[in-house]
Amino acid sequence: MHDDLKKSYHEILTAVGENPEREGLLDTPKRAAKAMEFLTKGYRETLDEITNNAVFSSDADDMVLIQDIELYSMCEHHLLPFVGKCHIAYIPDGKVLGLSKFARIVDMFARRFQIQEQLTHQIAKAVEEVTGAKGVGVIVEAKHMCMMMRGVEKQNSKMRTSVMLGNFRHDPKTRNEFLQLVKN
């Protein structure tokens, strides 16, 4: 994959009118290929690998909130970044997940070409699948370079998406508790 990407970046530089042989760009195709491999590593990861059996028995049955998980993704429409944060809450049903695994779940799906709506849904379904939780709530807030750097060029726009599963969808009290915790 690396050599194909390197060749493609060389062609892109030429297509936009640059000289890929000039000093400042000589290693750019190689560096860009390496960066793209990192930015899309989520395609080469699985939920089982990243959670690595870090699911533990627990009597906890109150809401667990992991807030402000940084995320970096790429818009599938323009291949431009969107960056933000993710808030995940779940109500355990006999099992809890190791804390760092939530960030790994976010990264696995964010490191793919995405739209934010799909990313939010994928994170929620993955947490539900891994934990067997009674309910899962996910909120993603992000700024999209495709809106900021091109097109309408709106620097202060932000997108928020949410997915509520189980108790978070069916119980207004649970949903409101989550929303209040995130707001504070």
Three-state secondary structure call for residue 1 = coil
> Per-residue b/e over 67-87, b at no fewer than 16 CB within 10 Å?
eebebebbbeebeebbebebb
Residue among 116, 122, 128, 141 flagged as catalytic: 116
Catalytic residue among 21, 67, 77, 118: 77
Catalytic, 146? Answer yes
Q: Quickly list DSSP for 81-131.
A: EEEEEEEEEEE-SSEEE-HHHHHHHHHHHHTSEE-HHHHHHHHHHHHHHHH
**pLDDT per residue rounded down to tens, the chain (184 residues):** 689 999 999 999 999 999 999 999 999 999 999 999 999 999 999 999 999 999 999 999 999 999 999 999 999 999 999 999 999 999 999 999 999 999 999 999 999 999 999 999 999 999 999 999 999 999 999 999 998 888 888 888 999 999 999 999 999 999 999 999 999 8
Assess whether 116 carries a catalytic annotation. yes
Does residue 144 carry a catalytic annotation?
yes
Catalytic annotation present for 77: yes
Check residue 2 and give its pLDDT.
81
Q: Which residues pair with 38 in a beta bridge?
A: none
Q: Is 86 a catalytic residue?
A: no
Of the listed 11, 21, 49, 76, which one is catalytic?
76
Residue-level pLDDT at 58? 95
- pLDDT attached to residue 155: 85
Look up the pTM and report it: 0.94
Among residues 10, 87, 121, 144, the one annotated as catalytic is 144
pLDDT at 1: 67
User: What does the block give as tokens for 125?
Assistant: 């379904």
Of these residues, 18, 37, 45, 78, which one is catalytic? 78
Task: Yes or no: say if 79 and 115 are a contact pair by the CB < 8 Å rule.
Answer: no
Instruction: Mark whether 75 is an active-site residue.
Output: yes
